[in-house]
Amino acid sequence: MSAESVVQAAALSALRGVGGLNGVYLGTPVKATPPYALLGELLSGDWSVKDRAGRELRLLVTVRDAGEAPTRIHSLSAAVGAAIEALPRDLDGWRLVSVALLRARIGGGAAGAWSGSLEYRMRVLAEE
C-alpha cells in the first residue's frame, strides 16, 4: 500500500477515537452536526534514503464547532493533536519516523462558528 493511504487510514482511525466529535470526514460533509473533524488533502513528496523509499507528508486536520465561545474548539483541537502525535510508529509496510506540528490556528467565522486547523509534517520510510 502507498504511504499516503496507510497514513490517511491511521489518522482516520485515531481521529475516530477522539471523544466529543460527532464525526470525522475525508471531505466537507453534506450534513454534519458540530463538532466534527475534516481530514484534508494529504500532500506528499519524496523523502527516500540511499536504500529505502520514503515520503514526507503534510496532513491538515480541521475541527469545526458552533458555540458562543471558543472554549470547546480549543480542547477538541488539543485532543485531535494528541491523537495525531500518538499514531503508531509501525504502519502497514511503513515506519513513521517523525510527526511534527507545523502550525495551528483557531478562529471564528460567522457568529458562533469556530474552526481549528492543525497542519503536521510526517516522515515515513518503507520497511526493509
d(CA 124, CA 96): 4
Please report the pLDDT score of residue 67 as a whole number.
87
Name 106's bridge partners.
116
**pLDDT averaged per 10 residues, the chain (length 128):** 96 97 92 94 95 97 92 96 98 97 90 92 95
What are the distances in angstroms from CA 88 to CA 50, 105, 106? 24, 25, 26
Q: Which amino acid is at 62?
A: T
Let me know: does 58 contact 119? Beta carbons within 8 Å: yes
Mapped onto helix, strand or coil, the DSSP state of residue 22 is coil
CA distance 27 to 4: 16
pLDDT value for 69: 86
pLDDT at 110: 77
pLDDT given at position 48 = 96
